[in-house]
């Protein structure tokens, strides 16, 4: 009887190991791929660009003005539509570039992610080769970005963002101390791109805060030429 019990135990263990091995081999590989062309949520929800389907709406950012420090409040007060970088064909920066109603395209290689924005022909480079941020980087509209994969999510760490850019179209400012983190992943059926922003800027905001934007994969869309060469400095026009 004991012998039969031993055989049964061995068989049970063998079957259990076989099931575990099969389950492990059938487990789908994590898809670390963001390549393709994407259209922004506001194109569908606000501009009638087509059926949004299951595409979520972007997180509004207007209410974040309540988190501004005195420095940030003064910067917001100084903003006018005429002084906005967007009205002067200046780079909107790493955050606001996502908010235009134009497509973006991800070009992916093993050591770099490149984002092409149709809007103003902007280009953003995210280095994936393990390098650190340079210590002597001069602030720029897109800053300096390094990235890594956490499962199926691309985590992008950006510093060196010049304070000449804004976080939305209503003058929401940031300082050059801004530490921007993005978590970018495909969600739902894989045709929706979610970008979660974390803003850590102690000079401009009393606390760390977050926002999300969404994009829809559309293979029929191409990134086209964008011209912004008829520049008018509205600040210098005489009063009417």
Split into its structural domains, the chain has a count of: 1
CB atoms within 10 A of CB 54: 11
pLDDT at residue 2, as a whole number = 52
Question: Is 12 a member of any domain?
Answer: no
Q: In whole angstroms, what is the distance from residue 8 CA to residue 92 CA? A: 69
Residue pair 206/66 in contact (Cβ under 8 Å)? The answer is no
Instruction: Please say whether the beta carbons of 95 and 122 come within 8 A.
Output: no
pLDDT (tens, 9 = 90+) of the chain, 240 residues, equals 555 555 455 445 555 555 444 445 454 466 899 999 999 998 888 888 888 888 999 998 889 999 999 999 999 999 998 889 888 888 999 999 999 889 999 999 989 999 999 999 899 999 999 999 999 999 999 999 999 999 999 999 999 999 999 999 999 999 999 999 999 999 998 999 999 999 999 999 999 999 999 999 988 888 888 887 655 555 555 555
- The reply to whether 29 falls in a domain is no
pLDDT at 82: 86
Is residue 3 included in any domain, yes or no?
no
Residue 226 lies in a domain: yes
**pTM for the full model?**
0.82
Does residue 219 lie within any of the structural domains?
Answer: yes
CATH number of the domain at 150, please.
2.40.128.20
Query: Among all chains, which residue has been given the structure tokens 């909107």?
Result: 92
In this structure, are strands 144-150 and 123-127 parallel, antiparallel, or unpaired? parallel
Question: Pairing relation of β-strands 153-159 and 179-187?
Answer: antiparallel
pLDDT at 224: 87
Residue 171 counted as domain residue: yes
Structural domain boundaries enclosing 168: 36-236
In a domain, 28, yes or no: no
Q: Is residue 20 part of a domain?
A: no
């Amino acid at each position: 009887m004991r012998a039969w019990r031993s055989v049964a135990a061995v068989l049970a263990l063998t079957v259990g190991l076989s099931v575990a091995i099969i389950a492990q081999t059938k487990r789908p590989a994590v898809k670390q791929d963001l390549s393709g062309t994407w259209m922004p949520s506001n194109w569908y929800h606000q501009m009638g660009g087509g059926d949004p389907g299951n595409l979520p709406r972007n997180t509004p950012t207007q209410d974040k003005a309540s988190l501004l420090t005195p420095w940030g409040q003064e910067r917001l007060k100084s903003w006018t539509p005429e002084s906005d970088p967007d009205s002067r064909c200046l780079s909107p920066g790493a955050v606001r570039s996502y908010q235009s109603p134009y497509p973006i395209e991800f070009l992916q290689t093993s050591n770099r992610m490149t984002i092409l924005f149709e809007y103003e022909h902007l280009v953003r480079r995210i280095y994936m080769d393990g390098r650190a941020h340079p210590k002597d980087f001069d602030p720029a509209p897109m800053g300096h970005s390094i990235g890594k994969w956490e499962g199926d999510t691309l985590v992008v760490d950006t510093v060196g963002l010049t304070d000449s850019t804004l976080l939305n179209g209503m003058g929401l400012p940031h300082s050059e101390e801004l530490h921007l983190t993005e978590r970018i992943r495909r969600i739902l059926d894989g045709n929706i791109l979610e970008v979660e922003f974390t803003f850590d800027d102690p000079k401009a905001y009393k606390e760390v805060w977050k926002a999300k934007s969404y994009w829809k994969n559309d293979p029929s869309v191409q990134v086209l030429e964008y011209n912004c060469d008829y520049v008018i400095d509205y600040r210098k026009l005489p009063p009417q």
